[in-house]
Amino acid sequence: MESDKPPAKGYRTDQKSTRSSIALKKIVHELHHVPGLVGGIVEKGFSSSGNGNSSTGIPSTIPLPRPTVFPFPVARRRSHGPHWTPLGSAPIEAEEGDMEEDKDETDYDPIASYANPIERKEKKPLDFSKWKEFVSQDGISLPQSNNVAKADAGRKREVKKSIVLNSPSSTSNSVCKPEKDQILSSELMNGSVSKKFMLTTEPKSLASKLESEEADESGVGSASAISSIAAWTDKGSDRGDIEKSEVNCHGSSSFMDDIDAENLSLLKNMSAEEISEAQNEILDKMNPSVIEMLKKRGQSKLRSRKVIGQEESDGRQKVSSIKPVDSGKSARLVDPSGVWTSKIESNNSSWKSWSERVEKVRSLRFSLDGDVLGADSTHNILNGGGSKVRPYNAENVTERDLLRTEGDPAAAGYTINEAVALTRSMIPGQRAIALHLIVSILNKALCNLQQMDNDSHHVRGKNPSDNLVDWQAVWAFALGPEPQMTISLRIALDDNHDSVVLACVKAIQSILCFDINENFFDFSEKFTTSKKNTFTAPVFRSRPDIDGGFLHGGYWKYNTKSSNILPNNDQHNEDDESEGNHTIQDDIFVSEQDVAAGLVRMGILPRICCLLEMDPLAVLEESLLSIVVAIARHSPTCADAIWKCPSLIQTVVKIFTKHVLGEPYPSQIKVVLLLKVLSEANKQICWDFVKCGLFQQVMLNWCKPFSSLERWMESGRENCKLTSALMVQQLRLWKVCIQYGFCITHFTDFFTDLCLWLSPPMFNKLIGNNLLSEFTSITREAYLVLEALAEKLPALHAGEQINNQSIGFSDDTSEAWSWSHVGSMVDMAVSWLQLRDIPYICSLTSDSKKNVNHLEFASISCIIWVISAVLHMLCGVFHKVAPNIHDELDHKITSLPRLSKSVPNVGLNLIKNGFLNFSGSSKLVFEACSTETRSLVNLLCLLRQQGDFDVSLSSSSCLHALVQLALLIDDSVKRARNFNDTQSFSESMSGLHEKILNVGLIKSAHNELEEVLSMFMDVVSSEQQILQSLEMFDRGGPAPGIGFGWGSCGGGFWSLNVLLAQTDARLILSLLHNISVIFEHDQTQIKATESVSYQPDQMLTLQRIDSTLRLSLLAGPGDETILEKTWDYLFQASVMKYLGSFVAQYLCHTKVSSSFDWHYGDDDYYLFSKMLDSHYKERWLIAKRKTISEMNNNKRYKTRHALETIQEIEPHSGFSRDQATNALMVEWAHQRLPLPMHWFLSAICIMGDARRISTCLPTDLDVAKSGLFFLLGLEVSSIYLCSSSAESPISGIPLIWKLHALSMALSQNMDVLMEEKSMDIFKTLQDIYGQHIDEKLQGFTNSLPETKNTVSLEILNFRAIHDSYSTFVEHVAEQFCALSYGDIIYGRQVAVYLHRTVEPTIRLSMWNALSNLGGLELLPPIEMCIANAEGYLEPVEDREDILESYSKSWTSGILTKAALRGSISFTIAAHHLSSCLFNTNTPQKVAFRNKLVKTLLRSHLQKPQEEAMLLSLLRNGLTTSEDPTYKSEAARRLTVLKEACGGNYSLLALLEKLEPLV
């Protein structure tokens, strides 16, 4: 839409008619409102309409097009303008300015009083800080403009001020003409110069014209008119444009220009007489001194502007070139980054570097296929050097890009912000292109992130800035803190052009990482039924606090509160008024935090439903369904939202049934997937599906069987692929239902069809048709379904139905399954155990020399997956045959002889087919086991090491199943032997293989399994770092996206690396279940004697403990049971005993501490294991529950009118984490896993837990003691281990954490030190850590001088633990002074904070706290402190604040006692002070030194009895008085002091007195 206002000719300079003034005013108004109109087009870089032309006398006939950055019809927000300037920006303060009859006030004032102007929020370049703050209330705690009134008031005054602003110049003009005129005209010149950037040639010519018309009164008028016109043209063309900021050099806003323009026009319409009259009037009214002042100011400003002007505009240029288009708002200055980084509290340095990385992306330019364009162009922009926006003229007008308004439009490619702005273009094609560009950028980013993931083994730790493009930052920026992308995408979805909608849907699909997440879930689904999927919503940890001992690893929270995702959910019936309160600002706020949540909030679901109903293109349909799936995976709330979205599910199911009779259709797969995901998310939803027949509808074409494989294969490869994919999804849906206990009865309907896929096929034909993977995926899923069914079997021998259905559902909804079908199932499974009939595997196992061919990986993994599923299924069945391994012994194996036979049958098959290698067993020598063949286990290990992800995962999973199955078989056989007639049983087991079975599979294959264990432990030790980088920041860290994009390095938790590591962890765990944690040899040794000498090569047990610790770090959400098991192994009493004996040996062999009496009995070890086990499980594994008051609130909300009842306090029954019984998906939120690296320190920190201290449990002390013992054990073992393995999980923990834990134990009381044993442990730990500090310091001093500058000396940067660590330090000092009795161990712990490697702020606050409380004298002597003495003294202190506080303590006499007792505090103070006094030579410091000398001497003047202290200060660092250099040095020092006295007589007298003593 154009403003076709005819060019107003009414204001030539000489014309004075009032008509023209009215016309002019009108124009002012028009122009003012033009951008406000929807779609108003104002061309950038050209003066609007013909105003400029008319003034130069060139009539413009064709109004030029004037695009804004806001061309697409979008609802305009009030905040887009008019804009308000803060009061302070008016350059001249005037007392009184209403000399003129200001007609315009009548126009503005009513608006001013009624309008409710919105103070524009100061926009930060990247405001992450918002994410970091916890959203306190419903997320609508949006920053509101609170100075609305102020702006309103300021408005009126501004009008006046600007009049005054103008008037002095004109008055001065008339008063002292020759001089002032120059100033005025040059001022005007200056104005136009500063405007040069954007003005077209016309203003320039005007300016030159102005120069010629010097000293002419009317010329002045015209000049002002011109400049005013220029101002309008700016105004019109660049409302919401970048150049605005450049024009307004002193920060006045567009509004100021308006007023200025009007004033000038008024001025121009007045006659010369009128003007002079008015000027006189002003002069009369004004104080002459004020006028003088104003004149001076004008001159000085002029001068300064001349100097600064150029620089400033350059600076602006630079800044504005990296400003975003900002959806049509006028650009504001980017704050210097320092302002907002200071807000961010934690992880300052890393956070800063991260935000810098993200900020860099702003200027990256992408080509249309998503590649980053050459670094040169971006470099230029950043430097601001050659990237000035040139003013357009006739020559370079072709460079102008109407679509891009920021930075360097002529540059190639688009920045992300430009692309986002382009999605609002008027032309559909451009919108589509922009969206395609976004899609390709996102895909590239994801692709490269995944690449990082794959490469991460090799390049871990590499500096990300080394990469050419920092894709992680690109991803973060795209999703990032500026929410334009989300909003633009949401708007684009409402487009009426199919191509745009399609592109937009693709963009949303990739912004939700659908494909990569789906790939991850597909893998995780292949495992076993017990593995639960996880929700993908971004989360952050709650901040560590003192109550938790500052230990990290708090509960996870969602970035967005669930109530914010669906704001109208609850209050719908409440009051409709509240709906009006939700603005788009809230949407922005939510989508800043979480893209998917923002989309849902902005009503994406109804729109998708609408699109689906319109019978869209197949591609679009599929993508839309993908988005719905991604949203369903987001969080429970989102899944619920989909379920509740009216007619969405019906539409989706309609899509399925539409195609049900024809060929399988890609969308059908997605539909089933969606239903499955929704069912997983909530049991209720699943039940509803089953109830209303959706399940039957979806499984309908399952009943359309292929009579044979041949017919299936004949249907064509494409068709086969689709059917296979569809069937896999259907089977998974069924599996989910079965896991809930629904739809089990359908088994009879489906089983006959299933049989086709269950037995081994004709492999040749399959391979010939290239359909092996399709077939095997169906088989795999079918067996997984059978496994799920097997779990629903009643226990075979229990004689009673297990009634394990959970809450809320009556028994009739869930069905148990009978044993009658199991027989045939098992038979078919056994047929898969004939390895010799299976291709690939057969050839690999038969020849041990044969290498794994890389080409066969895909096929091999397919088959291994099937075998793995088969084994898992057998496990499930056998588990029910022998229900509980540790069951009571009185049940009998009686019924179903066929089944009881099947157990040994499977066992024999395992043996015969060479699953395991029994040759190493010492008891049985089998000639049958030749060395030519290799066992399956061996093969799987090989594949695990050499294969790609798929193969590694499958072999790991298969091994896991195999080990479990072997265990179950052994167990059954053992029991059968026990309860049957032993004689007859062993008779039936006469053959070779039977003998093995009789002995036990595990036992026979013990050697091989141990090999497997050690191999996998090695593997895990290389994997353990994966999860460590997961939590670089709390909120708003790397890519707060969804799923894959969420984590840090290479996708974080959602990477396949993690999945693989967790699978390995599970395997190790099941192996540890079979093979004890403690190596047998060690076990016997422990039993034999208490103190044995361990050889370094017998560290197997230590390695096992070590890897168990690593396993704990790998557990993610939903792995609580696994972790529990791990800890059961780790905290056995025998392990404690082993550690104990190890520590005893260590103490004997090293002189690290006075070896104390180390005697712990079995009871002690038992107590330790019990305490630690229960503590850690309670601390880390209990899920967060709503507090009772919260639950109350909820209830009250629902039943408002019901009487309040007293809520019963729910008993904490054990570890009730089964909140998830309602769903098969696991939430990240409300739990703590994965563990922080230093999790085991929590036992020690429990002593300092202020919250618990009020309910002080007597067990806490025991827990802390056990924790200390355990820590010492681990430390000692890590000392022994560090030579063998690279980095153990213990030594990898930063030293600050360990020292902090020790301090934490003392921070409330010193009960830990009350008992002698724990005191000794404490001391030993301190000694060990002292050694660590010394080693690190040694490493630092040995390092090259050039690296020294980069590496900070602050080895112990305690502030990394928490920002307010100094408060904690003060608390420790307070406790020390209150109740320690000057305990040496306590004192050591306190003194460590004075170590030179501790950062200065902490040191200072510790010193001050001790000084104030009189605790300095209580510290032990320096020799007794942790770490070497040099560490406290060298290098010499150079911070003045610390030295001052030393001298303050010195002069106030606090150190007097410390000097008497020889405490470390005196040593430190004397050393640093004397070094400062006598070794200062830089002139800057001399003044400080002199001050110091005077203070010290003066204090000694008053206290003559403290002469010894002064002498020791003088003599510090000097050895003996016999030393020949002593005399000269002492004399030098005395002269230094004398010089510093500055001739003060009394001080000199003191020194005189001192001289003979030295």
Place of tokens 């009414």: 10
Which one of the spans 435-443, 720-728, 1260-1268, 1379-1387 is the region binding another protein (CB under 8 A)? 1379-1387
Which of 327, 378, 1324, 1375 is the binder for another protein (CB under 8 A)? Answer: 1375
Minimum CB distance to another protein, residue 1380 (Å): 7
Crossing angle for the helix pair 949-979 and 897-912, nearest 10 degrees?
Answer: 130
Between 924 and 1413, CB nearer to another protein: 1413
* Smallest separation, CB 1457 to another protein (Å): 8
Q: According to the binding rule CB under 8 A, does residue 1462 interact with another protein?
A: no
Least Cα distance to 1106 among 1276, 884, 1304, 877 occurs for 1276
CB of 556 to another protein, least distance (A): 31
By CB under 8 A, residue 1277 contacts another protein: no
Three-state DSSP at 538 gives coil
Structure tokens at 711: 């017919």
**Which of 385, 1339, 1414, 1542 lies at the binding interface for another protein (CB under 8 A)?**
1414
Q: Which stretch binds another protein (CB under 8 A): 893-901, 954-962, 1181-1189, 1376-1384?
A: 1376-1384
Cis peptide preceding 82, ω within 30 of 0? yes
Parallel, antiparallel or unpaired: strands 539-541 and 1225-1226? unpaired
C-alpha span between 470 and 448 (Å, rounded): 9
- Smallest gap from residue 1377 Cβ to another protein (A): 5
Task: State in angstroms the smallest separation of the CB of 1445 from another protein.
Answer: 19
- CA–CA separation, 1148 and 784 (whole Å): 55
Which residue's CB is nearer to another protein, number 38 or number 1314?
A: 1314
Number of residues that this document lists for the chain: 1558
Interaction pattern, residues 1204-1243, with another protein; x per rule: CB under 8 A:
----------------------------------------
The owner of tokens 């509004």 is 255
Nearer to another protein, 1107 or 1463 (CB): 1463
Instruction: Please say which residue, 1039 or 1319, places its beta carbon nearer to another protein.
Output: 1319
Q: Is 1254 in the site for another protein (CB under 8 A)?
A: yes
CB of 1269 to another protein, least distance (A): 21
Q: Is 1379 in the site for another protein (CB under 8 A)?
A: yes
Closest separation in Å from C-beta 1376 to another protein: 8
Query: Looking only at residues 80 through 99 of this chain, which bind another protein when binding is defined by CB under 8 A?
Result: none
Residue 1157: exposed, middle, or buried by beta-carbon count in 10 A (0-12, 13-18, 19+)? exposed
Examine residue 1187 and tell whether it contacts another protein (CB under 8 A).
no
Whose CA is closest to 409, among 243, 211, 228?
A: 243
Is residue 1463 a contact point for another protein (CB under 8 A)?
Answer: no
The two three-digit tokens of residue 783, written as one number: 């067996």
**At its nearest, how many Å lie between another protein and the CB of residue 1325?**
21
Q: Which of the residues 1045 through 1084 are near another protein (CB under 8 A)?
A: none
Residue with tokens 């005697």: 1159
950 contacts 861 by C-beta, under 8 angstroms: yes
Shortest Cβ 1414–another protein spacing (Å) = 5
1380 binds another protein (CB under 8 A): yes
Whole-angstrom Cα distance, residue 174 to residue 1445? 64
Q: Which is nearer to another protein, 500 or 1321 (CB)?
A: 1321
* Candidates 119-127, 162-170, 653-661, 1377-1385; binding stretch for another protein (CB under 8 A): 1377-1385
Q: What sign has the CA pseudo-torsion 963, 965, 971, 977?
A: negative
User: Where do the H-state alpha helices sit in 602-658?
Assistant: 604-613, 618-632, 636-644, 648-658
**Binding to another protein by residue 308, rule CB under 8 A?**
no
Q: Is the dihedral of CA 798, 804, 809, 813 positive or negative?
A: negative
CB of 1303 to another protein, least distance (A): 17
Residue 1308 C-beta: closest distance to another protein, Å: 10
1188 scored as a contact of another protein (CB under 8 A): no
Size of the site for another protein (CB under 8 A): 13
Record the tokens describing residue 535, joined without a space. Answer: 């929700």
Q: How far apart are CA 776 and CA 526, in angstroms?
A: 12
Is the CB of residue 877 less than 8 Å from the CB of residue 823?
Answer: no
CA 413 to chain centre: 30
Distances (CA, A) of 773 to 329, 707, 752, 842, 1401: 55, 20, 22, 18, 63
Closest CB 128 distance from another protein, rounded Å: 37
Residue 1225: what are its φ and ψ, rounded to 5°? -100, 150
Residue 798 interacts with another protein (CB under 8 A): yes or no: no
1508 makes contact with another protein (CB under 8 A) = no
Query: What's the per-residue H, E or C state across 297-345?
Result: HHHHHHHHHHHHHHHHHHHHHHHHHCCCCHHHCCCCCCCCHHHHHCCCC
For another protein, the closer CB: 857 or 1368: 1368
Alpha helices per DSSP H over 345-427: 348-361, 375-383, 416-422
The distance of closest approach from Cβ of residue 547 to another protein in the complex, given in angstroms and rounded to an integer, is: 15
Residues 266 and 274: beta-carbon distance below 8 Å: no
**C-alpha dist (Å) from residue 490 to 483, 504, 549:** 11, 8, 44
DSSP H or E run through 475: helix 471-479
C-beta closer to another protein: residue 542 or 1412? 1412
Q: Which one of residues 1418, 1425, 1473, 1540 is an interface residue with another protein (CB under 8 A)?
A: 1418
* Closest to another protein by CB, 883 or 1382: 1382
- Residue 1378 Cβ vs another protein, minimum distance, rounded to whole Å: 4
Candidate residues 1351, 1378, 1508, 1557; the one interacting with another protein per rule CB under 8 A: 1378
d(C-alpha 1181, C-alpha 1174), whole Å: 10
Contact 526, 520 (CB under 8 A): no
1377 binds another protein (CB under 8 A): yes
Region of 553-561, 754-762, 1151-1159, 1412-1420 interacting with another protein (CB under 8 A): 1412-1420
Quickly count: other Cβ atoms within 10 Å of residue 1378's Cβ: 10
Smallest gap from Cβ 1398 to another protein, in A, equals 24
| Closest CA relative to residue 612, chosen from 576, 567, 642 | 642
* Helix ranges, 851-896 (H): 857-881
If the CB atoms of residues 249 and 1410 are measured against another protein, the closer one turns out to be 1410
Among 464, 1382, 1400, 1421, binds another protein (CB under 8 A): 1382
Question: According to the binding rule CB under 8 A, does residue 1318 interact with another protein?
Answer: no
User: Helix (H, G, I), strand (E, B), or coil: what is residue 1253?
Assistant: helix
Residue 1504: CB minimum distance to another protein, A: 17
Q: Judged by CB under 8 A, which stretch of 646-654, 748-756, 1388-1396, 1408-1416 contacts another protein?
A: 1408-1416
CA–CA separation, 101 and 117 (whole Å) = 26
Q: Is 285 helix (H, G, I), strand (E, B) or coil?
A: helix
Q: Report, in angstroms and rounded to the nearest whole number, the Rg of the chain calculated over CA atoms.
A: 40
Binding window for another protein (CB under 8 A); candidates: 611-619, 713-721, 772-780, 1414-1422 = 1414-1422
Binders of another protein in range 351-410 (CB under 8 A)? none
- By beta-carbon proximity to another protein, the closer residue of 385 and 1414 is 1414
- Residue 1289 or 1420 having the CB closest to another protein: 1420
Contact flag: residue 1095 with another protein (CB under 8 A)? no
- Supply the DSSP symbol for 122: P
CB of 1419 to another protein, least distance (A): 12
Q: Please give the residue ranges that form the binding site for another protein (CB under 8 A).
A: 1254, 1314, 1375, 1377-1382, 1413-1415, 1418
